[in-house]
Amino acid sequence: MKTILSCLVLVLIAFGIRCPAAERSASDLLERGLFLEQTRGDLSGAIDAYERIIEQQRANRLFVARAYFRLGACHLRLGQKSKAVAAFKKVIDDYPDQAELAEDARRQMPLVFEETFEQIEENYFQDVDRGELMEAAIHAMLSKLDATSDYLDPVRLKEFRQVTERSLSGIGAALNFEAETKRLLIAKPLYGSPAADAGLLPGDRILEIDGRSVEGLDMREAVNLIRGPAGEPVTLGIQRGDRRSAVRIVRGPIRLDRVRGTHRNADGTWNFTFRPEDTTGYMRITDFAQGTADEARAAVEALSRQGIKALIVDLRANPGGLLAEALGVADLFVSEGVLLTSKGRQEEQSWSATREGTFGDLRLVLLVDGATASASEVVCVALQDHDRAAVAGQRTYGMGLIKSLLPLQGGESALRLPVATYFRPNGGNIHRHANATEQDVWGVLPDPGLAMSISEEERKRVIAVWEGLETSREVVASDINDALFQLAWKHLNQP
């Protein structure tokens, strides 16, 4: 019997069957090492326990790998970087289950994170602000992601919501900060704004805000001082030529028209044709904030009552905005079918057109350029793939990411992260990835015969042309100094 048992043991060893005692020993050592490392802070004792596991020739490989991982973490905390790297490399080379390793690391990261803060606060030679350290750590993490990932602190989150929800209040003037001269100038008072009513003009230099000199302030600081609750006054020290004056302005709610036309009517509303007899309209969408789709619908309904047969939709320099608003605009012109699909970590999602309220008879041309991005590209692909619009201009930016606002600190701050990639109705790619070439599929390409590239200087000049028409009363389409517009106008009005 003894001979048989001895032979059986030899066979088990020969075929690599582990000895239960050795496995229990590795398990006990790992538990002891974790206790010494994480509870007692005895890194030397923990290292000894982990090294003993590694030395066991018949120990479970899972325990050995975890021992290497914890060994590397201990060496890293002791500042022994070369030993830490060697241990982590062993894990990467030999570890049988990367998913379990990642879970182990995830459980340990909060402890390492918190300990880092404590070490800095206790040992750094100067006092530090924990809030600033936390923000720096967040930005460092986001830097490992794509360039669109962002952290919005409480101030920036408030500004973001004001813009997208259209709840701005202030004087209603676009500002320009000259980097070379350090001068803060009025670029343009908005139509009907408190700034316009107070007589401010483009080129006026702001010297003071409520008695405080603007010297040393950046644009954001100056804007925050000028903004304020509606009904509260602000006094600006203004220089116009050689003359200086104090201008008192009562702040008010600021309306930003996202959908603009050819020029304003006498009552301040937008006109979307040049002359009453025109059968082609023009509509420029600056971005997609809350209410943009409603503005666009109102404009198209007005044009429909006028008997308009064709429409130019200008999306040049449109950076995007809210996806729902872009889909709402696209849905105005498509009666059925998929408008967009998205793919992320969650299940695939799609959005479809609705038949009710569709303006299916309007002929459309979309004007685009290299700054047409994100939500504005959603409108382009939906209308182009359903043969509802021709696209004129140059290849668009290629921003095919759906971004979500993820609250932090109970909603006081937030992460703005891309959570999915969206695709054309025909399944084609939109997003321009980091390694994309000009030959790859991304963005929106103009239709044949409607391609036209312009320089950045020309793009700015054209925008200024349309801005200058805002208060004009007699405008003729043929007089507009905009080559792409003229190309689209000809395309829609040719026999």
Position 21 in a domain: yes
Residues 303 and 369 in one domain: yes
Residues 306 and 360 in one domain: yes
Residues 23 and 93 in one domain: yes
Position 147 in a domain: no
Tell me the β-bridge partners of 239. Answer: 205, 244
Position 127 in a domain: no
Number of folded domains that form the chain: 3
Q: What is the CATH number of the domain that holds 458?
A: 3.90.226.10
Which residue range is the domain that position 307 belongs to? 259-493
Residues 232 and 266 in one domain: no
Contacts of 121 (CB under 8 A, 6+ apart): 128, 130
Position 132 in a domain: no
pLDDT, tens digit, 9 for 90 and up, residues 289-332? 999 999 999 999 999 999 999 999 999 999 999 999 999 999 99
Q: What is the CATH number of the domain that holds 233?
A: 2.30.42.10
Residues 213 and 264 in one domain: no
pLDDT at 10 (0 to 100) = 30
Using CA atoms, how far apart are residues 361 and 374, in angstroms rounded to an integer?
A: 26
Residues 284 and 431 in one domain: yes
Residues 103 and 230 in one domain: no
pLDDT at 201 (0 to 100) = 92
Phi and psi for 157 in degrees, rounded to 5?
Answer: -65, -40
Query: Which residues of the chain fall below pLDDT 50?
Result: 1-24
Q: Domain ends where: 253, 274, 298?
A: 253
Using CA atoms, how far apart are residues 373 and 376, in angstroms rounded to an integer?
A: 6
pLDDT at 92 (0 to 100) = 72
How big is the chain by its Cα radius of gyration, in Å? 32
The amino acid at 243: R
Residues 226 and 248 in one domain: yes
pLDDT at 148 (0 to 100) = 83
Q: Helices 20-34 and 61-77 sit at what angle, rounded to 10 degrees?
A: 20
Q: What is the CATH number of the domain that holds 105?
A: 1.25.40.10
pLDDT at 3 (0 to 100) = 37
Using CA atoms, how far apart are residues 297 and 430, in angstroms rounded to an integer?
A: 26
Using CA atoms, how far apart are residues 159 and 422, in angstroms rounded to an integer?
A: 26
Residues 210 and 300 in one domain: no
pLDDT at 427 (0 to 100) = 94
DSSP-derived secondary structure for 116-137: HHHHHHHHSSS---HHHHHHHH
pLDDT at 110 (0 to 100) = 64
Residues 210 and 174 in one domain: yes
Q: Domain ends where: 215, 230, 253?
A: 253
Strand pairing category for 243-250 and 413-423: unpaired
Position 271 in a domain: yes
Residues 362 and 453 in one domain: yes
pLDDT at 100 (0 to 100) = 60
Residues 204 and 282 in one domain: no
Burial of 425 (0-12, 13-18, 19+ CB in 10 A): buried
Position 1 in a domain: no
pLDDT at 404 (0 to 100) = 87
Q: Domain ends where: 238, 253, 268?
A: 253
Position 163 in a domain: no
pLDDT at 410 (0 to 100) = 84
pLDDT at 154 (0 to 100) = 87
Position 150 in a domain: no
